Amino acid sequence: MRVLSTIKFTALRMIRNYIVLILLLVVPIILITFFSFILSGVVTENGVPYINENAMIMVLVFQLFGGSIVMYLIYHDLFTENKMRMYALPFNQTMYAFSIMLCGALYSILLGILLMVYSQFVLGVIWKNWFWMIYIISLMAILSIIVCLIFTFSVKNYKIAERLSELYGVGFVVLAGLFFPLPRNAIFDFLGSYGNPLTLSMGAIRDMSLTNTSSAWFQANILLGVIAILFMVMLLLGRRRIG
């Protein structure tokens, strides 16, 4: 409840960065639309239209970068010259940080849902299980925010933390084999499967669409377990940094 008391202030604070918020929506729409025209009429080896597969991948890929707005707000409000002004306000700074996380997660999830709505009703993409897709999007959004905040709390130079967050997103896209095939060895096999949040989320969605529910839940629960572990790491680092 203490977190909820700062939600209104946090939402207004986020809206001030409306250009960034709009770009986070517009850029994925442009890319999904572009690739849908290129892949129109192409089907996978299972006979599924490739625009369905592409839309699913694109929606999940952009969740990898959803933590950027959260790390930006926390850094600029709690670790820069704004720090003294924020600490003078009559609310708990730790609760404010949590409210930024909550608003950021909700916005990332909303973006994912809007991309699903757009791709289905404008591009003709078929989503077989909306609730499962939204659940996986939520896990990816939360994980991205936690990872970005771990970088923010553990690295004093914010520019380096930003580059690490970008490396997290781009790195897992590459390791998923979406750009080019990767070498076949134990390390790359792990980082391209169970050690990769993107491939886990993609696998969970594919398996659920094929009614392979046990495998889908297994992969989703791996994501959930990683979130729980990294959340504790984030708390320890955040308490040390914020105080």
Structure token pair of residue 28: 């994925």
Decide if pLDDT at 3 tops 60: no
Decide if pLDDT at 2 tops 60: no
How far apart, in whole angstroms, are the C-alpha atoms of residue 241 and residue 163? 20
Residue 24's domain spans which residues? 4-242
Decide if pLDDT at 115 tops 70: yes
Stretch 115-121: mean pLDDT: 94
Give the pLDDT confidence score for residue 121 in this predicted structure: 93
Give the pLDDT confidence score for residue 1 in this predicted structure: 47
How far apart, in whole angstroms, are the C-alpha atoms of residue 216 and residue 202? 9
Tell me the three state secondary structure of residue 46: coil
Decide if pLDDT at 109 tops 90: yes
As beta bridge partners, residue 35 has none
Query: CB count, 10 Å around CB of 122?
Result: 12
- What pTM did the predictor assign? 0.90
Give the pLDDT confidence score for residue 152 in this predicted structure: 93
Number of domains in the chain: 1
Give the pLDDT confidence score for residue 177 in this predicted structure: 84
As beta bridge partners, residue 43 has 49
Distances (CA, A) of 106 to 51, 69, 119, 160: 26, 12, 20, 26
Decide if pLDDT at 63 tops 50: yes
Give the pLDDT confidence score for residue 150 in this predicted structure: 95
Stretch 147-151: mean pLDDT: 95
Stretch 99-111: mean pLDDT: 92
